[in-house]
Structure 1
């Protein structure tokens, strides 16, 4: 964030007027926004999020591109990456149908399964298919 803000400050000191777009994957962290506000460049940026849920590596393999999720969960105690994984699975189910048998092995996967169940309870119509004949 410091590097981005230094680039913006450098351009404004040269008199350059540009439009800046900053996208976070998969979501924006509050700490990042705080740094941008401290550096007084937050209002000069158009900030967005790109919900990259999963990347297909093969026809039957999906990769969750959350590089630091293991460290965040085990060391930092930050379970937000589990929410992103559950959201990606929920999106997959919404597109292709409900996964009939979900098995969880380990504490983190149990947490993901619990989040998925909560999503299904909160939005049950998203898990039903309606066919209408015209």
Structure 2
């Protein structure tokens, strides 16, 4: 799907549950990171906020939270993809006291009435004092 055919999703209400799966509302969870009023304290926080950005269709946040060494010029978000659930499978380093970390996750999505899943072991680095998504580990 080309970027030209992308439909903007309606804004995700701050009072709805956060897509990242934490037991709080979007406005007090990932929504704060998306709007820029807070920064991710850990690599896992950044990964969860990026998942939520896919779920709410926030291409700008995805690009801003991507490390400049690997950042693409755009993200082709498909409005037909519904992100259903996120499971964190493991983390490595990535605390407020680290400069790099990893997060392994499973993201469940639905397209055309069928469920699928994306499993990734992502790498994160600090850049300019903030966590940034670098890439996915092979294997």
Both structures adopt the same fold (TM-score exceeding 0.5): no
TM class by smaller structure:
under 0.3
Query: Structure with the greater relative contact order (CA < 8 A, sep ≥ 6): 1 or 2?
Result: 2
Higher strand share: 2
Higher helix share: 1
TM-score (norm 1): 0.21
